[in-house]
Homo-oligomer: A and B are copies of this chain.
Amino acid sequence: MNIERHLAVLDLNARYAEAIDDGRFEEWPDFFTEDGRYRVTTAENVAQNLPLSLIYATSRAMLRDRVKSLREANIYEAQRYRHMLGPARIEADGDGALRVRTSFMVARVMHTGETTLFATGSYRDRVVLDGATARLAERTVILDSRQIDTLLAIPL
């Protein structure tokens, strides 16, 4: 294992969670490569080999559009999130890209102060290194729950 690559991945995960939890959603697309893919699906779909996605974006530009619409719809304003990530497990480290897998729990805190365990699941990522900076060429968010309603709103 290459320690520097590993640390770059840990740093990516930490900064990604921090930006969302701080409400700096406009920074979110920058964690991806220019043609990075972001997909949200469920463990049930994955188990049944269904290609269904709840969200599927194939470029940084699409992610920027998404953030813009959500800002205009005021989706983010009344709530905060808190991500807890497990250790990043590097599953394969080929030339150019690393396959990484990370468990997560996300809590949602409403404006009223009510705190709930909002989402759990895992990230399956393809990470590329741009110098010392790691970026997501692909992040597939696999939700443990099939209950998806408002989940669609926020970057996970």
Across the interface, do B86 and A103 meet the contact criterion of CB distance under 8 Å?
no
Interface size on A (CB < 8 Å)?
Answer: 38
Contact of A145 (CB < 8 Å), options: B10, B14, B101, B115: B115
Q: Mark A22-43, 1 if CB is under 8 A from B, else 0.
A: 0000000000000000000001
Q: Mark A131-156, 1 if CB is under 8 A from B, else 0.
A: 00000000000001111100000000
Q: Which residues of B contact A82 (CB under 8 A)?
A: 103, 105, 120-121, 144
What are 18 pairs between A and B in contact, CB < 8 Å? A13-B87, A14-B86, A14-B87, A18-B89, A18-B103, A21-B103, A43-B80, A82-B121, A82-B144, A84-B105, A112-B147, A113-B147, A114-B145, A114-B147, A115-B117, A115-B144, A115-B145, A117-B117
